[in-house]
């Protein structure tokens, strides 16, 4: 049984936390949990100013605290991600823990204003860009006794991701996944699962390139199947809506229960034991066999190289951060 620690108590009181996607579902419940811990500052993000105002008000009401800020962040726009990073930098906002929670699930192929399939950009590319841009701020907050935390909310859905058949012959993995001709109805039905596999693979790459001992614990986590609003866009027809509702009634955790999985790696000790790992039910677990296979490891390596090449064109800070803080592997 864990014992009370004055040092841990003080660390929690001085911690500055950032959670993305907090106006509904898991992100909102996680924000309430974190607010009740009375951190020094808690920063919430939602897609626009109106939702920011509402999320801040709702979390304050549930947690009875007022040290909360809310900033707009739209992951469907690289420009919004850059502006968010600019604001963090200009205000000198210290970050001890960053929880990248925002995701979408849809069966419909559509492109963002940046020219990327929406799920691919929101769940993977923008999350990767945001994670890299936050690294210097996390590293700056690290102390000898407390490692900063970067938590990416993945899912056990990555076990159900389709294998990328013929990937060895694709000139570009992300280019192929973005191609409208490739993204048939059957491919799009598995797009959310695939995006979660990409997140799990992404976590391994910066984790393996950070110094040892690491200044930032990078973790992917699985909150489980929950009563959240993530499925709202796939409930577009009566059959899907019925299937989702029956599945939730039989199997889903409460959103509050699932949100604890987000909070745990952001505040609990032994963070270095979770570094670079996939965590499920607040325990380190193995990723899917496909992710752990030789093909999966090669895909992970290629994805990292492609991702950095793409993101460096979006924001020049990416290459600077990589060269300054990450080691060649």
Q: Which residues does the annotation mark as catalytic?
A: 192, 196
How far apart CA 2 and CA 198 sit, in angstroms, is 35
How far apart CA 261 and CA 324 sit, in angstroms, is 31
**Closest alpha carbon to 93 in 143, 35, 18, 8:** 18
Helix axes 126-141, 294-314, angle to 10 degrees: 80
> Residues near 16 by Cβ (< 8 Å), separated by ≥ 6?
39, 40, 41, 42, 43, 93, 94, 95, 96, 97, 141
**Closest alpha carbon to 52 in 83, 31, 37, 26:** 31
Which residue bears the tokens 């799920």? 119
Buried residues in 119-138 as b, exposed as e (16+ CB within 10 A): bbbbbbbbbbbbbbbbbbbb
How far apart CA 283 and CA 224 sit, in angstroms, is 13
How far apart CA 119 and CA 111 sit, in angstroms, is 9
Token pair belonging to 313 = 């064109």
Give, for 151, the enclosing helix (H) or strand (E). Answer: strand 148-153
Name the H helices within the chain.
6-14, 25-36, 49-63, 78-90, 118-119, 126-141, 173-178, 185-188, 191-209, 238-251, 255-267, 289-292, 294-314, 317-325
């Amino acid at each position: 049984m864990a014992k009370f620690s004055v040092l841990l108590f003080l660390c929690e009181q001085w911690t500055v936390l950032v959670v993305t996607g907090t106006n509904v579902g898991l992100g909102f419940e996680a924000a309430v949990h974190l607010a009740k811990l009375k951190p020094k500052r808690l920063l919430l993000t939602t897609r626009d100013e109106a939702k920011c105002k509402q999320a801040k008000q709702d979390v304050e009401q549930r947690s009875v605290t007022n040290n909360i800020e809310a900033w707009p962040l739209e992951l469907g726009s690289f420009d919004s991600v850059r502006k968010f990073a600019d604001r963090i930098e200009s205000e000198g906002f210290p970050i001890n823990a960053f929880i990248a929670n925002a995701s979408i699930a849809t069966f419909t192929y559509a492109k963002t204003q940046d020219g990327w399939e929406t799920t691919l950009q929101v769940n993977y590319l923008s999350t990767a860009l945001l994670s890299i841009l936050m690294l210097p701020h996390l590293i700056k907050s690290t102390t000898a006794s407390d490692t900063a935390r970067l938590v990416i909310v993945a899912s056990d859905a990555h076990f159900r991701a389709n294998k990328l058949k013929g990937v060895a012959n694709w000139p570009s993995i992300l280019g192929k996944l973005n191609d409208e001709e490739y993204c048939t109805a059957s491919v799009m039905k598995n797009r959310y699962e695939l995006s979660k596999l990409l997140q799990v693979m992404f976590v391994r790459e910066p984790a393996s390139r950070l110094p040892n001992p690491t200044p930032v614990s990078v973790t992917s986590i699985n909150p489980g199947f929950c009563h959240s609003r993530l499925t709202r866009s796939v409930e577009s027809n009566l059959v899907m809506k019925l299937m989702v509702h029956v599945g939730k009634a039989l199997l889903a955790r409460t959103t509050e229960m699932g949100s604890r999985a987000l909070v745990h790696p952001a505040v609990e000790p032994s963070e270095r034991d979770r570094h670079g790992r996939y965590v499920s039910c607040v325990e380190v677990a193995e990723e899917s066999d496909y992710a752990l296979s030789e093909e999966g490891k090669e895909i992970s390596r290629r994805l990292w190289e492609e991702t950095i090449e793409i993101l460096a064109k979006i924001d020049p800070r990416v290459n600077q951060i990589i060269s300054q803080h990450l080691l060649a592997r």
